[in-house]
Chains A and B, each alone.
Chain A
Amino acid sequence: AQSVSQHNHHVILSEAASLELGCNYSYGGTVNLFWYVQYPGQHLQLLLKYFSGDPLVKGIKGFEAEFIKSKFSFNLRKPSVQWSDTAEYFCASPGNAGNMLTFGGGTRLMVKP
């Protein structure tokens, strides 16, 4: 069965530090991948998505992710985090199962001012 895993459950960074959150998927075929963010008390918002083409995907709020097929990875990056990036981040994929998303376990990011 398809799965999506996130290595880091909790990450604490200081403002201006660089961020990289890991995400791995485990299925073949057509790969579609997403990163969502959930700010405290808010709904899930799409940060970026990969369907095909350029493996380096740029999203909103300065985030980007790189799809590396050989490593089954889709890591999220941001060069310099801000306090307002404090949130929970989810990697997700529909796999081969249609319009249903399989989510990773999430990573709680806390950015210290």
Chain B
Amino acid sequence: KAGVTQTPRYLIKTRGQQVTLSCSPISGHRSVSWYQQTPGQGLQFLFEYFSETQRNKGNFPGRFSGRQFSNSRSEMNVSTLELGDSALYLCASSLESQGNGYGYTFGSGTRLTVV
């Protein structure tokens, strides 16, 4: 079966711009989570969507937002980009509806560079 697909793989944006990243989960998976990975902060949880509803949110400013569509595909948006937003953004999908982190499959990520 196809894995978790994230597009684009690489992105370069200018400070102040906004960006939208896309994630297509494994077929049948209804939970999609987003993580930010940086050398300094490691892996940090951004938010999780399940059946088009945001179920959990991490400690990120309101510039970071997301949504999930009826086909479970998810997008995350970052507005007014800052240099510190440069990171690898990872998406993970899971079938699990109970919410215990079980069965996550991660995508390869989108590498965002803000200049």
Contact with B along A78-99 (1 / 0, CB 8 A): 0000000000001011100111
Q: Are B33 and A44 in contact (CB under 8 A)?
A: no
Which residues of chain B have a CB within 8 Å of any CB of chain A?
Answer: 3-4, 31, 33, 35, 42-45, 48, 50, 55-56, 58, 90, 92, 94, 96, 98-102, 104, 106-109
Inter-subunit contact B102/A106 (CB<8 Å) = no
> Is A43 an interface residue when CB atoms closer than 8 A count as contact?
yes
Contact B43 A103 (CB under 8 A): yes
Give the number of A-B contacts (CB < 8 Å).
68
Number of A residues, CB within 8 Å of B: 25
User: When the two chains form their complex, are residues B42 and A98 in contact, meaning their CB atoms are under 8 A apart?
Assistant: no
Instruction: Let me know if B108 and A43 touch, CB within 8 A.
Output: yes
7 closest residue pairs by CB, A with B? A94-B101, A99-B99, A98-B99, A103-B43, A44-B106, A43-B108, A100-B45
B56 with A98: CB separation less than 8 A: yes
Chain B residues with Cβ below 8 Å from A101 are 33, 35, 43, 45, 101, 104
